[in-house]
């Protein structure tokens, strides 16, 4: 597999490792799908580089020119043992929308954080009770409510799904075109990479979908309108309140400081996150720029200041002294550090929670930590 960026265009190319046959190529320009495809000569060159390095037991991770970057990625083992290339190419078409959503300018961030994108519904306990009851009546322990690719509520078994399927399943649902009902075969990379499960989805309201992960049963026809009405009609108003939560993530009227332009809150133990760039939406920068700033800042602080994961198994006892030196907060000014110039980015970690804020240029740097601490305390009951 390879990825090449030229003049703002990103190409994702998947090749059969043994034969070099191209399986698919998806392109994106400026965050949107692009028709421009890689020429066959470039595909051949990428495969040649891969084969040359493989023969020498060398893995080439990237190659750069002045205006081009080529990145080679290792595919799943299942894709290296191909018996029927044409059949595999047809099967991979079902993944195109999901792949395109990763290449585009997504409103989600779970691909980077490996935490599930969530929203906070105003009456979450009622929705949780209805979801658990409906899932039990349908004969599965795995159920969730998803709005715009974000999880509103989920059963305990759904939350126990491993990474990356817990991130991928709602992202997949959000990437698909609207449909009243689906019966979608899915492989779980961690839990069941070789035997497909069934992902059943039912649209309760436009943009709000009920998702069930199950085996051969129940058939989709068993989820009839009577069963749906029994569990979801009593909570219709709380369901309606969830629809606008997609890009906002937080309940309407939740108090945030007027300088906050965007935020990312992660719970590193639960592997869940809240991500929004909706606050003060009438101010610069644009939502797309805000997302890019927060994504870049997350990458920076994770790589240089904070450990990537709290309490990871590979941590050793002798690292305790080093972990004690890990900073709890940091900030960055994206431009001149002068009054009225440069957006402020601040990160704060307390216990299992990490908060990243994008703040307006009017926010004084000496007050960043206090503002972040106050915001984190306000958000803690939500996640």
Sign (positive or negative) of CA dihedral 156, 161, 162, 163: negative
How many CB atoms are located within 10 Å of the residue 304 CB?
9
- pLDDT band of residue 249 (cuts 50, 70, 90) is very high
Q: What is the pLDDT of residues 84-143, one digit of tens each?
A: 778 777 777 777 788 787 877 889 999 999 999 999 998 999 999 999 999 999 999 999
pLDDT at residue 352, as a whole number: 93
Residue that wins the pLDDT comparison between 308 and 133: 133
Which of 60-74, 127-141, 181-195, 265-279 is predicted with the least confidence, judged by mean pLDDT?
60-74
- Give the pLDDT mean for 325-339: 75
Which of 10-19, 146-155, 239-248, 297-306 is predicted with the least confidence, judged by mean pLDDT?
10-19
Do 108 and 117 contact (CB within 8 A), yes or no?
Answer: yes
pLDDT at residue 17, as a whole number: 63
Do 113 and 302 contact (CB within 8 A), yes or no?
Answer: no
Distance CA 299, CA 294 (A): 9
Q: By percentage, how much of the chain surpasses pLDDT 90?
A: 45
Phi and psi (nearest 5°) for 267?
-105, 105
How many CB atoms are located within 10 Å of the residue 90 CB?
10
- Give the pLDDT mean for 188-198: 83
- Give the pLDDT mean for 273-302: 90
For helices 124-138 and 225-232, give the axis angle rounded to 10 degrees.
Answer: 150
Residue that wins the pLDDT comparison between 66 and 116: 116
- Give the pLDDT mean for 293-320: 72
Residue that wins the pLDDT comparison between 92 and 243: 243
Asked whether the bond before 164 is cis by omega within 30 degrees of 0, the reply is: yes
Q: What is the pLDDT of residues 317-328, one digit of tens each?
A: 555 555 556 678
Closest CA to 249 of 218, 274, 227, 286: 274
- Give the pLDDT mean for 63-73: 50
pLDDT surpasses 80 at 76: no
pTM above 0.85, yes or no: no
Hey, what domains does the chain have and what are their CATH numbers?
A: 9-105 (no CATH), 110-248 (3.30.450.30), 260-306+328-380 (3.30.450)
Cα distances from 72 to residues 61, 198, 251, in angstroms, run: 5, 32, 42
Q: What is the mean pLDDT of the chain?
A: 82
Which of 7-21, 40-54, 68-82, 110-124 is predicted with the least confidence, judged by mean pLDDT?
68-82
pLDDT at residue 83, as a whole number: 72
pLDDT at residue 3, as a whole number: 44
Strand partners of residue 13:
2, 25
Distance CA 240, CA 258 (A): 27
Residue that wins the pLDDT comparison between 184 and 241: 241
pLDDT at residue 18, as a whole number: 64
Which of 56-60, 112-116, 168-172, 187-191 is predicted with the least confidence, judged by mean pLDDT?
56-60
How many CB atoms are located within 10 Å of the residue 355 CB?
22
- The tokens describing 101, both together, are 């959503």
Distance CA 362, CA 67 (A): 36
pLDDT surpasses 50 at 7: no
């Amino acid at each position: 597999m390879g990825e090449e960026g030229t003049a703002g265009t990103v190409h994702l190319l998947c090749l059969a490792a043994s034969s070099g046959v191209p399986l698919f190529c998806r392109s994106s320009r400026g965050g949107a799908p692009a028709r421009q495809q890689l020429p066959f000569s470039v595909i051949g060159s990428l495969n040649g580089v891969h084969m040359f390095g493989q023969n020498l037991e060398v893995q080439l991770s990237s190659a750069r020119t002045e205006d081009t970057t080529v990145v080679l990625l290792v595919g799943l083992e299942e894709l290296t043992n191909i018996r029927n290339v044409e059949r595999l190419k047809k099967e991979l078409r079902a993944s195109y929308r999901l792949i395109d959503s990763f290449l585009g300018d997504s409103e989600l961030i779970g691909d980077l954080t490996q935490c599930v994108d969530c929203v906070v519904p105003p009456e979450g306990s009622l929705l949780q009770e209805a979801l658990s009851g409906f899932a039990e009546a349908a004969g599965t322990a795995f159920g969730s409510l998803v709005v715009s690719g974000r999880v509103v509520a989920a059963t305990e078994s759904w939350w126990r799904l491993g990474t990356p399927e817990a991130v991928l399943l709602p992202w997949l649902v959000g990437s698909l075109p609207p449909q009243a009902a689906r019966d979608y075969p899915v492989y779980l990379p961690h839990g069941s990479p070789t035997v497909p499960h069934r992902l059943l989805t039912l649209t309760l309201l436009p943009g709000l979908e009920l998702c069930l992960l199950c085996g051969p049963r129940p058939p989709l026809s068993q989820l009839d309108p009577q069963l749906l009405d029994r569990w979801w009609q009593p909570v219709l108003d709380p369901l309606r309140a969830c629809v606008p939560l997609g890009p906002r993530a937080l309940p309407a009227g939740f108090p945030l400081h007027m300088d906050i332009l965007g935020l990312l809150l992660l719970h590193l133990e639960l592997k869940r996150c809240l991500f929004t760039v909706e606050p003060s939406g009438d101010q610069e920068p644009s939502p797309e720029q805000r997302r890019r700033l927060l994504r870049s800042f997350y990458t920076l602080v994770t790589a240089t200041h904070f450990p990537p994961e709290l309490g990871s198994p590979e941590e050793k006892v002798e690292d305790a002294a080093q972990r004690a030196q890990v900073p709890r907060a940091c900030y960055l000014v994206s431009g001149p550090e002068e009054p009225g110039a440069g957006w402020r980015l601040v990160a704060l970690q307390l216990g299992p929670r990490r908060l990243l804020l994008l703040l307006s240029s009017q926010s004084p740097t000496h007050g960043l930590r206090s503002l972040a601490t106050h915001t984190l305390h306000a958000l803690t009951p939500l996640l």
